[in-house]
Protein backbone atom coordinates (compact mmCIF):
# COMPACT_ATOMS: atom_id res chain seq x y z
CA UNK A 1 0.00 0.00 0.00
CA UNK A 2 2.86 2.32 0.61
CA UNK A 3 6.42 2.76 -0.44
CA UNK A 4 5.99 2.04 -4.09
CA UNK A 5 8.63 3.19 -6.42
CA UNK A 6 7.39 5.96 -8.61
CA UNK A 7 8.94 7.49 -11.63
CA UNK A 8 10.39 10.90 -11.65
CA UNK A 9 8.90 13.94 -13.25
CA UNK A 10 10.92 15.44 -16.00
CA UNK A 11 13.81 13.20 -15.17
CA UNK A 12 14.32 15.09 -11.94
CA UNK A 13 13.23 13.88 -8.53
CA UNK A 14 10.65 16.47 -7.92
CA UNK A 15 11.78 17.95 -4.69
CA UNK A 16 15.41 18.27 -5.59
CA UNK A 17 16.61 21.73 -6.23
CA UNK A 18 17.38 21.45 -9.90
CA UNK A 19 19.31 23.81 -12.10
CA UNK A 20 16.18 25.78 -12.87
CA UNK A 21 15.55 26.27 -9.22
CA UNK A 22 18.81 27.47 -7.88
CA UNK A 23 22.27 27.93 -9.20
CA UNK A 24 24.47 27.12 -6.27
CA UNK A 25 23.15 23.78 -5.17
CA UNK A 26 25.35 21.48 -3.14
CA UNK A 27 24.25 17.95 -3.74
CA UNK A 28 20.54 18.61 -3.42
CA UNK A 29 20.57 21.01 -0.50
CA UNK A 30 18.43 23.90 -1.63
CA UNK A 31 19.98 27.30 -1.28
CA UNK A 32 18.10 29.32 1.31
CA UNK A 33 16.46 32.17 -0.49
CA UNK A 34 16.50 30.49 -3.87
CA UNK A 35 13.65 31.06 -6.26
CA UNK A 36 11.32 28.41 -5.02
CA UNK A 37 8.65 28.74 -7.63
CA UNK A 38 9.93 26.00 -9.94
CA UNK A 39 10.42 23.68 -6.98
CA UNK A 40 6.83 24.20 -6.02
CA UNK A 41 5.53 23.53 -9.47
CA UNK A 42 7.58 20.39 -9.72
CA UNK A 43 6.45 19.20 -6.31
CA UNK A 44 2.81 19.66 -7.13
CA UNK A 45 3.04 18.22 -10.61
CA UNK A 46 4.85 15.20 -9.20
CA UNK A 47 2.23 14.68 -6.55
CA UNK A 48 -0.54 14.93 -9.10
CA UNK A 49 1.21 12.30 -11.15
CA UNK A 50 1.47 9.96 -8.19
CA UNK A 51 -2.20 10.36 -7.38
CA UNK A 52 -3.25 9.75 -10.95
CA UNK A 53 -1.05 6.73 -11.13
CA UNK A 54 -2.47 5.20 -7.99
CA UNK A 55 -6.03 6.25 -8.48
CA UNK A 56 -6.01 8.33 -5.32
CA UNK A 57 -8.26 11.32 -5.07
CA UNK A 58 -6.57 14.67 -4.82
CA UNK A 59 -9.35 16.61 -3.18
CA UNK A 60 -9.49 20.29 -2.37
CA UNK A 61 -8.26 19.92 1.22
CA UNK A 62 -5.51 17.60 0.13
CA UNK A 63 -4.40 19.91 -2.60
CA UNK A 64 -4.32 22.77 -0.15
CA UNK A 65 -2.06 20.84 2.22
CA UNK A 66 0.05 19.73 -0.69
CA UNK A 67 0.55 23.30 -1.83
CA UNK A 68 1.53 24.36 1.64
CA UNK A 69 4.07 21.57 2.00
CA UNK A 70 5.37 22.19 -1.48
CA UNK A 71 5.94 25.81 -0.66
CA UNK A 72 8.72 24.90 1.74
CA UNK A 73 11.78 22.74 2.04
CA UNK A 74 11.30 22.75 5.78
CA UNK A 75 9.28 20.23 7.71
CA UNK A 76 6.04 21.67 9.04
CA UNK A 77 4.09 20.76 12.11
CA UNK A 78 0.48 19.75 11.66
CA UNK A 79 -0.62 22.92 13.38
CA UNK A 80 1.66 25.04 11.23
CA UNK A 81 -0.08 23.57 8.25
CA UNK A 82 -3.41 24.23 9.86
CA UNK A 83 -2.58 27.90 10.40
CA UNK A 84 -1.53 28.23 6.82
CA UNK A 85 -4.75 26.62 5.71
CA UNK A 86 -6.61 29.36 7.52
CA UNK A 87 -4.61 32.17 6.00
CA UNK A 88 -4.45 30.56 2.57
CA UNK A 89 -8.07 29.62 2.24
CA UNK A 90 -10.32 32.20 0.62
CA UNK A 91 -13.07 31.49 3.13
CA UNK A 92 -10.69 31.76 6.06
CA UNK A 93 -12.34 28.79 7.71
CA UNK A 94 -10.34 26.86 10.27
CA UNK A 95 -10.42 23.11 9.79
CA UNK A 96 -10.11 20.86 12.82
CA UNK A 97 -6.70 19.36 13.56
CA UNK A 98 -7.97 15.93 12.61
CA UNK A 99 -8.51 17.14 9.11
CA UNK A 100 -4.85 17.95 8.75
CA UNK A 101 -3.82 14.65 10.25
CA UNK A 102 -6.11 12.77 7.95
CA UNK A 103 -4.59 14.42 4.94
CA UNK A 104 -1.10 13.75 6.22
CA UNK A 105 -1.96 10.10 6.82
CA UNK A 106 -3.28 9.89 3.32
CA UNK A 107 -0.08 11.24 1.83
CA UNK A 108 2.06 9.10 4.08
CA UNK A 109 0.24 6.01 2.90
CA UNK A 110 1.19 6.94 -0.62
CA UNK A 111 4.77 7.56 0.45
CA UNK A 112 4.49 11.17 -0.61
CA UNK A 113 4.95 12.69 2.80
CA UNK A 114 7.45 11.76 5.45
CA UNK A 115 7.29 12.41 9.14
CA UNK A 116 10.31 13.66 11.03
CA UNK A 117 9.61 11.98 14.31
CA UNK A 118 12.30 13.85 16.17
CA UNK A 119 10.34 17.03 15.47
CA UNK A 120 6.75 16.00 15.01
CA UNK A 121 6.92 17.54 11.60
CA UNK A 122 6.08 16.58 8.07
CA UNK A 123 7.55 17.21 4.67
CA UNK A 124 6.99 16.25 1.06
CA UNK A 125 8.99 13.33 -0.22
CA UNK A 126 11.25 14.61 -2.92
CA UNK A 127 11.05 11.37 -4.84
CA UNK A 128 7.36 10.67 -4.85
CA UNK A 129 7.85 7.49 -2.90
CA UNK A 130 10.70 5.03 -2.73
CA UNK A 131 11.46 1.56 -1.47
CA UNK A 132 14.85 2.23 -0.04
CA UNK A 133 15.66 3.48 3.38
CA UNK A 134 16.23 7.13 2.75
CA UNK A 135 17.99 9.02 5.48
CA UNK A 136 16.69 12.47 6.29
CA UNK A 137 19.29 15.20 6.60
CA UNK A 138 18.03 18.00 8.75
CA UNK A 139 19.85 21.29 9.05
CA UNK A 140 19.85 22.66 12.55
CA UNK A 141 20.40 26.19 11.31
CA UNK A 142 17.91 26.65 8.52
CA UNK A 143 15.62 23.68 9.21
CA UNK A 144 15.91 22.45 5.66
CA UNK A 145 15.34 18.75 5.18
CA UNK A 146 16.61 16.74 2.28
CA UNK A 147 16.65 13.07 1.51
CA UNK A 148 19.83 11.39 0.41
CA UNK A 149 20.39 7.69 0.29
CA UNK A 150 23.19 5.91 2.08
CA UNK A 151 23.91 2.89 -0.10
CA UNK A 152 26.11 1.19 2.49
CA UNK A 153 23.17 1.22 4.84
CA UNK A 154 21.02 -0.53 2.28
CA UNK A 155 23.69 -3.14 1.88
CA UNK A 156 24.50 -3.64 5.50
CA UNK A 157 21.10 -3.56 7.11
CA UNK A 158 19.76 -6.89 5.85
CA UNK A 159 23.01 -8.62 6.67
CA UNK A 160 23.18 -7.20 10.16
CA UNK A 161 19.53 -7.93 10.76
CA UNK A 162 20.02 -11.53 9.75
CA UNK A 163 22.98 -11.70 12.07
CA UNK A 164 20.80 -10.48 14.91
CA UNK A 165 17.91 -12.68 13.92
CA UNK A 166 15.81 -9.56 13.54
CA UNK A 167 13.25 -8.97 10.79
CA UNK A 168 13.15 -5.29 9.94
CA UNK A 169 9.91 -3.82 8.74
CA UNK A 170 10.88 -0.20 8.55
CA UNK A 171 14.00 1.83 9.09
CA UNK A 172 14.12 5.49 9.96
CA UNK A 173 17.36 7.42 9.83
CA UNK A 174 17.47 11.04 10.90
CA UNK A 175 20.73 12.93 10.62
CA UNK A 176 20.82 16.30 12.27
CA UNK A 177 23.58 18.72 11.50
CA UNK A 178 24.48 21.71 9.40
CA UNK A 179 23.87 21.94 5.69
CA UNK A 180 26.52 23.16 3.25
CA UNK A 181 24.97 26.58 2.83
CA UNK A 182 24.73 27.28 6.52
CA UNK A 183 28.18 25.90 7.04
CA UNK A 184 29.51 28.33 4.48
CA UNK A 185 27.90 31.15 6.39
CA UNK A 186 29.14 30.40 9.86
CA UNK A 187 31.51 28.45 11.97
CA UNK A 188 30.72 24.76 11.88
CA UNK A 189 29.89 22.99 15.08
CA UNK A 190 31.95 20.17 16.46
CA UNK A 191 31.36 16.98 14.61
CA UNK A 192 30.02 14.38 16.93
CA UNK A 193 28.71 10.95 16.19
CA UNK A 194 25.59 11.31 18.25
CA UNK A 195 24.65 8.81 20.87
CA UNK A 196 21.60 10.48 22.14
| Least gap, CB of 142 to its own copies (angstroms) | 12
Choose the stretch contacting its own copies; rule: CB under 8 A; options: 13-21, 35-43, 85-93, 176-184.
Answer: 176-184
Interface pattern 58-97 for DNA (x via CB under 7 A): -xxxx--------------xxxx------------x-xxx
Cβ neighbours for 38, distance < 8 A, ≥ 6 positions apart = 18, 20, 21
For DNA, the closer of residues 52 and 185 by Cβ is 52
CA distances from 167 to 158, 161, 173 (A): 8, 6, 17
What value, to the nearest 5°, has the Cα angle with vertex 28 and ends 20 and 141? 115
Q: Which residues contact Zn ion by CB under 5 A?
A: 125, 127, 134, 139, 141-142, 147, 179, 182
Distance CA 134, CA 180 (A): 19
Distance CA 5, CA 22 (A): 26
| H or E element that contains 138 | strand 136-139
Distance CA 85, CA 104 (A): 13
Binding partner of 192, given its own copies, DNA, Zn ion, none, CB within 5-8 angstroms per partner class: its own copies
Q: Residue numbers of the site for DNA (CB under 7 A)?
A: 56-57, 59-62, 77-80, 93, 95-99, 101-103, 106, 120
The residue ranges that bind its own copies (CB under 8 A) are: 2-3, 26-29, 108, 111, 114-115, 117-118, 125, 129-134, 137, 139-140, 148, 150-158, 160-161, 163-180, 183, 188-196
Amino acid sequence: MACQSVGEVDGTPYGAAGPMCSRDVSAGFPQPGHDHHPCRLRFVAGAEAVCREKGARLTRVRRQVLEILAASHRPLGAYDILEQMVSTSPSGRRPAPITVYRVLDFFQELGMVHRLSSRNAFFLCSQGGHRQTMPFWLCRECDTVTEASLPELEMAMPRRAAELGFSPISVQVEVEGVCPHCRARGRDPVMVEGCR
